[in-house]
Amino acid sequence: MANIALCSARKADMKIQLTAYGIAKEILNGRQMDFDLPEGSSLSTMKEILTSKFPEFEKLASLRFAVGEEYEFDHYILKEGEEVVIIPPVSGG
Amino acid sequence: MIDIQILETALDPEFCRSRVEDDAAGGLVVFTGTVREQTQNRKVTHLEFESYVPMAVKEMKKIAEEAEKRWNTIHICIHHRVGTLEVGEIPVVIAVSTPHRKAAFEACEYCIDQLKETVPIWKKEFFEGGEVWVAAHP
C-alpha cells in the first residue's frame, strides 16, 4: 500500500523567496517575490524556470545566485522557504 | 588588520590611509575610484550604487584575506560607498600597507580587480537622456 502511495505521489510544490538587486530588481519589478518550484529543485532548474518566466534575464552578461550570503551553483538543491538572491553582473568600484 | 566597510556617507581617503599606517610598513598604497563625468561620449549626471550589504562585506573580507595571504600585507582597509554619488565623488577607497612597496601596489590592484568581479554592488549611471545599469549586458 505504501508503495502505491509513493508511486502515485506527484512532486509537491515548494515555495522559495527570491530577492533581487540591480537590474534584476527591475526585471522582477520588485525587490522580493515568492517563487514556486517542484520540491527538491536545483538552482539550475530554478534558473530555467526563472528565465522562461522573465526572458530579460537571458540577455544579461551573467547571472549568479547566492544562498545564505554565499555564491551557490547549478547543483545546489533548494529547500522550502529558502531565500535565493539573484546576482546580476556586479559593477562596484 | 582588515577594515571593511560599506558606508552611505562620503569616503575619507586620508582616514583609510591612516588606518593602514604601521611602523613595519615600507610601502603604503591608496587607491581611490572616482565618478567620471563621461561614459561612451555621454555626459553623466550622477550614479546610484546599491549593494547586498551582508554578502558584499563577506566577499570584500575574502578578497582582503586572500591578498593578506598572497602578499603578506600588514593592514588592508576597503571602504565602499552606496547611494547617490555626483561626478568627482569617491565610490571606493582601498588602502594597503606592506613591508615593501611592490607588494603594496600588487595587493591593492588585486583588491580592486577582484572587487569588480565578485562583490555584490551595482551601479546605475544616469546621463542626459537615459540611465543604465553598468555592465549588465554584454
Cβ proximity of B16 and B79 under 8 Å: yes
The domain locations on chain B are 2-133
For residue A76, the enclosing domain spans 11-87
**Residue A3 within a domain:** no
pTM over 0.90: yes
pLDDT tens column, B80-105: 999 999 999 999 999 999 999 999 99
Identify the three-state secondary structure at position B22.
coil
Q: Does residue A93 sit within a domain?
A: no
Given CATH 3.90.1170.40, say whether it is the number of domain B2-133. yes
Chain B partners within 8 Å of A90 (Cβ): 116-122, 135
Nearest-CA distance B55 → chain A (Å): 5
Within 8 A by CB and 6+ apart from B40, the residues are none
Nearest by CB: A92 against B92, B124, B136: B92
Sign (positive or negative) of CA dihedral B112, B117, B121, B123 = positive
Nearest to B77 by CA among B6, B20, B13, B14: B20
Q: Outline where DSSP puts E strands in chain B.
A: 2-7, 27-32, 38-39, 42-51, 75-81, 83-86, 92-98, 121-127, 130-133
In a domain, A35, yes or no: yes
pLDDT at B40 over 90: no
pLDDT tens per residue, range A36-91: 999 999 999 999 999 999 999 999 999 999 999 999 999 999 999 999 999 999 99
Question: Beta-carbon neighbour count of residue B32 at 10 Å?
Answer: 14
